[in-house]
Structure 1
Amino acid sequence: MNLLRERLTTPGDPGALRAEEGERPQSHARAYQSLKMQVHQLLLSRIDLEAMENLSDDHLREELGLMVERLLAEENLVVNASERRNLVRDIQHEMLGLGPLEPLLADASVSDILVNGPQQVYVERRGRLERTDVSFVDDDHLMKIIDKIVSRVGRRVDESCPMADARLPDGSRVNVIIPPLALDGPVMSIRRFAAVPLTMANLIDFHTLTAEMAEVLSALARAEVNLLISGGTGSGKTTLLNILSGYIDHAERIVTIEDAAELQLQQPHVVRLETRPPNIEGRGEITQRALVRNALRMRPDRIILGEVRGAEALDMLQAMNTGHEGSMTTIHANSPRDALSRLENMLAMGGMNLPTKVARHQISSAIGVIIQANRLTDGRRKITSIQEITGMEGDVITLQEIFSFRQTGVAEDGRVQGYFQASGVRPRFQERLRSRGIHVADHLFDPGRRME
């Protein structure tokens, strides 16, 4: 199938490709970028866009490769075999994917892609940041890729709305901020999601937690205990939330609420809700709070809130206190106690001027267990604390720690050393587990064993 129209240029035309001595760029990289732009623009001017829509991605990729080869031959442009292969690949990425980012997205070892303007792209591998040789031609080139990403999910980014959250087809989370807020050009952050979702066994292998801790957490999820996962940026909160949600019975109806849909639930009965930003006129915004309220009318067995960060905390806690047990959410906080303080502040954001004791009682009666996830200085993620909320003593919410990670030092190579240990406390939620027919052995809580 031929996607090229009649030839629109001749070798002597101004628009034709040429590589004259006096116009050759000083650096090889700039010369290659210039060549790629010329081939791309010429291809766009001559391709039959209607015919493209009728082809599958694989067939279209093959056709684009043939067309690039044909254009190079027509323009009598001499390139070596390596440059020819790279040119075909990069044009395919520009037309069908996300341009220079495609090789990074195909690399399974990359967990984060951080674009700080067109000439500076970093990635995170195994918890460490490193700069790549990937670059964009200029701000306009980067903006085209950004527009392609945000438009897929019905969002926009421009001077009137210079920040946006979006997601890639695989569920990876994208945040974009552009000038005038970003002073050195468009900035984009991509939090990668694994093609195959991680499991609890993977976390045990990575020493994020122990098998004993995993057994207790899975039992809590099955027993419909309300869970709050606390941690900093990049600590693995969403990953853990996704794994714990996998223990929910397949017969239950689950409603998920997120700013940008990331969760990868495997159950058959899942309803996914996503917030909507305001339109260009400043209207039409749908917040998480509105979605939580609506979810209560959807007969959910479980409500999973991707992250609680504002006024929706009030509605979430009320849902947990009114029969929607087994709900889960995440929160940004450095410790379980900080998480409770943040929740208390969020209740005030909800417009309810509750007395301090009433607000804390609402929190303590709604949430059963707080799981603290931290990212250590060596880049590894650990579940550093699992604490049970046991009620109130006066005006203070009481916590008891069930498991913790004890850091003992840092090795010469920078690796954090330490061990996991149970506190020896027999948690109150064991009664709830037994009432649901879930058995957790008492020896799991024995403080005499150090678990690496």
Structure 2
Amino acid sequence: MFGRKVSEPDNQSACQPDSEAVTAAKTDTVLTTELPQLSRQVLSANTQEGIQQGIQQSQHDNSSEDVELDAQVYQVIREQIFASIDPSVATKLKQDELAERILQAVTSIANQQRLPLTFQAQQQIAQLLLADMIGLGPLQALLDDDSVNDILINGFDKVYVERGGKLSLTKAKFRDENHLLHVARRIASAVGRRIDESKPMVDARLADGSRVNIVIPPLSLSGTTISIRKFSTMGLQLEHLAEKGAMSAGMVTFLKIISHCRLNILVSGGTGAGKTTLLNALSYQIDEQERIVTIEDAAELKLQQAHVVTLESRPATLEGGAEISLRELLKNALRMRPDRIIIGEVRGEEAFEMMQAMNTGHDGSMSTLHANSARDALIRLENMLLMGQVNLPPLALKRQMNSAIDIIMHIERMRDGKRRITSICELVGIEGDNLLVQDLFSYKFSHELSNGELDGEFISHKIQPYCLDKVRYFGLESQLLKSMGLS
């Protein structure tokens, strides 16, 4: 048991010990166990005072009970072990070897000092120390937890997660504000960004693709805040979303057909509604022979096709690198001979270039945007076009939208935590100064069940769609009509 390894975090790219966290030692060993005598009263496992933190169950232990670690216990052991690490040697170790050395040191301390720590508790301490050195401290276990979608930090002692659409407060805590700020700076510096009082907001991305937003004082009055949207390693297809209650079987077939038949699609929804997940699921229907260019602020799309070019915008860098906007990337993408262009999210003046792409032979292009409904999405898009400072009257912009967009679908995270497609509609024309929208599918809420879940049904409005001619070109009109209950 003495040499047993600690569970290894998935993120292999972050396996360099933190230079600020690791204090250089005078010895040439990585970890020494000749440590000062520690007070058994301080290290009592039964102590209930102090902040409880780092309570994690070993992923490789069969026990169903958590071992509670006192914050003072962990802090004292941490200081002693960190003081005995030689960074010049530690940085040359592989992650699993460093993990084993840490566990050996923790076990040796416990044995020499006869500390009342079970081996499971020793494993937990070693895991936390490893996360502090090469990971993101208390966040690492949450990042490794596949059931967690979002991690929201409102100060050093308030860490929330979203699981299954529901927010909950976790036991994870940072030692203090300085510890949290240090982790925030590590995240920012890893992608060449700076976070300080002169630049107190930053967007970044973790090595696994998770999207991060950081705000620090003086803008954030409650201390450093970090919002992490985790990058899912598992691509969900439309059938998987239907199994989770996001749509009906008929809607699955309908969406498969319109995606394959190269209709231009806009996905709307609020923050965390599942827009990108839905966009990924739609992309599975794209033919392998098509050349796809994706454009995003932070790369989240996970297309399965082989012929994909991924472009990501860039803010101005610390080294003086110029900002590269989505609009510039879109203009350049048109010169790259794409069959389809997929924009992770349109939010500003790049909307005009997106309309141009959809209207100039790049059928089957897709994007998302924030809106409260499918109809609101069109209003937002029109406002974005006006932001592009194009010298076109409003009616001309509406004509551009009408010829470019075929289908708009809206997805919501509802109050029971489930994500559902509440509307699929098509843009069918212009009447006067107004764009005309026709509903094809919608979700009709019925009532709330005793367990808090919402009950309702997905309905087809059984209206023959205007997009039928485009689908007929691919020979799939009968299947489309059947999916809508029209045959």
Alignment check: 8 A CA contact 1:17 1:39 kept? no
**Which residue is 1:234 aligned to?**
272
Deviation at 1:412, TM superposition (A): 3.8
2:142 is equivalent to residue 120 of structure 1: no
Residue number in structure 1 paired with 2:485: 446
For residues 134 and 157 of structure 2, the distance between their equivalents in structure 1, rounded to whole angstroms, comes to 22
Q: 1:19 aligns with which of 39, 43, 48?
A: 39
For residues 92 and 40 of structure 2, the distance between their equivalents in structure 1, rounded to whole angstroms, comes to 38
* Farther-moved stretch of structure 1 (146-155 vs 129-138): 146-155
Say which SS state the counterpart of residue 446 (structure 2) adopts. Answer: strand
SS at match of 2:311: strand
TM-aligned CA distance change 1:32 to 1:289, over 3 Å = same
Q: 1:176 aligns with which of 214, 239, 243?
A: 214
Residue 363 of structure 1: CA displacement? 1.0
Please give the alpha-carbon distance, in whole angstroms, between the structure 2 residues aligned to 1:397 and 1:39.
66
2:235 to 197, 212, 217: 197
Q: Please, which of 100, 104, 110 is the counterpart of residue 138 of structure 2?
A: 100
Paired with 1:50 and 1:251, the residues of 2 have a C-alpha distance of: 50
* 2:115 counterpart letter in structure 1: V
CA deviations on 1:30-85 (whole Å, 9 max, x unpaired) are 694344344444444432334334433223322332234346667x4835225423
What SS does the aligned partner of 2:383 have?
Answer: helix
What displacement does 1:318 show? 0.9
Distance 1:276 1:39, change over 3 A: farther
2:97 to 32, 39, 59: 59
Which stretch shifts more, 78-87 or 181-190?
Answer: 78-87
Superposition pairs of residues 226-375 of structure 1, within 5 angstroms: 226-280=264-318, 284-375=322-413
CA RMSD, 1 decimal: 2.8
Structure 1: distance between partners of 2:243 and 2:171: 32
Which residue identity is paired with 1:415? E
Stretch of structure 1 that moved more, 106-115 or 317-326: 106-115
Q: CA deviation at 1:230?
A: 0.5
Amino acid across the alignment from 2:212: V
Contact 2:149 2:161 in 1 (8 A): yes
CA pair 275-16 structure 1, distance change in 2 beyond 3 A: farther
The TM-score, its normalising length taken from structure 2, stands at 0.83
Q: CA deviation at 1:339?
A: 0.5
Structure with the higher helix share, 1 or 2: 1
Amino acid at match of 2:94: S
Instruction: Give a deviation string over 1:128-172, Cα, whole Å, max 9, x none.
Output: 111111100011111222223233333332222211222233322
Q: CA deviation at 1:109?
A: 2.1
What per-residue deviation string (whole Å, max 9, x for no partner) do you get for residues 371-406 of structure 1? Answer: 111121211111011111112122211111111111
1:100–1:135 CA contact under 8 A, matched in 2: yes
CA distance in structure 2 between the aligned counterparts of 1:151 and 1:267, rounded to whole angstroms: 32
Deviation at 1:447, TM superposition (A): 7.3
| 1:408–1:23 CA distance, 2 compared to 1 (3 A) | closer
* Mapped partners of 1:103, 1:22: distance in 2: 26
Distance, in Å, in 2 between the alignment partners of 1:41 and 1:52 is 16
Amino acid of the structure 1 residue aligned with 2:169 = R
The runs of 5 or more residues in structure 1 that have no matched partner are none
Paired position in structure 1 for 2:8: none
Paired position in structure 1 for 2:430 = 392
Contact 1:171-1:263 at 8 Å conserved across structures: no
Residue 212 of structure 1, CA deviation: 1.0
Of residues 174, 186, 191, the one that matches 1:148 is: 186
Q: Partner of 2:254 in structure 1? A: 216
SS in structure 1 of the partner of residue 51 of structure 2:
helix
Tell me if structure 2 keeps the 8 A contact 1:385–1:405. Answer: yes
Q: Is the 2:99–2:126 Cα contact (8 Å) retained in structure 1?
A: no
How far apart, CA to CA, are the structure 2 residues paired with 1:399 and 1:421?
Answer: 17
What's the TM-score once normalised by structure 1's chain length? 0.90
Q: C-alpha separation between the residues in 2 aligned to 1:21 and 1:372?
A: 59
Alignment of 1:382 with 2:404, yes or no, is: no
1:99 aligned counterpart, secondary structure: coil
- Give the aligned residue type for 2:132: E
Distance 1:22 1:266, change over 3 A: closer
Q: Aligned to 1:6, which of 23, 27, 35?
A: 27
Compared CA separation, residues 111 and 22, structure 1 to 2 (3 A): closer
Note if contact 2:48-2:70 (Cα within 8 Å) is conserved in structure 1: no
Structure 2 gap segments, 5+ residues each: 4-23, 53-68
> What secondary structure, in the 3-state scheme, does the structure 1 residue paired with 2:138 have?
helix
Whether 1:185 aligns to 2:223 is yes
* Preserved CA contact (<8 Å) 1:17 1:38: no
Matched, 1:206 2:227: no
**What residue number does 2:86 align with?**
48
Q: Report the AA paired with residue 57 of structure 1.
A: Q
Which shifted more, 152-161 or 27-36?
A: 27-36
Greater Cα offset, 377-386 or 402-411: 402-411
- Map Cα deviations across residues 78-126 of structure 1 (whole Å, 9 max, x no partner): 3522542321111011122221122222322222211111001111122
Aligned partner of 1:29 in structure 2 is 51
- Structure 1: distance between partners of 2:245 and 2:125: 43
Partner of 1:420: 458
Check 1:5–1:267 CA distance in 2 against 1; reply closer, same or farther (3 A cut).
farther
Matched position secondary structure for 2:447:
strand
Q: Which amino acid is 1:334 matched to?
A: N
CA distance in 1, matches of 2:150, 2:203: 15
Structure 1 residues 352 and 96, CA, compared in 2 at 3 Å: closer, same or farther? Answer: same
- Match in the other structure for 2:12: none
Whether the aligned pair in 1 keeps the contact of 2:43 and 2:115 (CA below 8 Å) is no
Residue 115 of structure 2 corresponds to residue 78 of structure 1: yes
Contact persistence 2:253–2:480 (CA under 8 A):
no
SS at structure 2 position matched to 1:239: helix
Equivalent pairs: percent with the same residue?
44
The letter for the 2-side match of 1:19 is: S
What corresponds to 2:443 in structure 1?
405
In structure 2, C-alpha distance between the alignment counterparts of 1:376 and 1:220, rounded to whole Å: 26
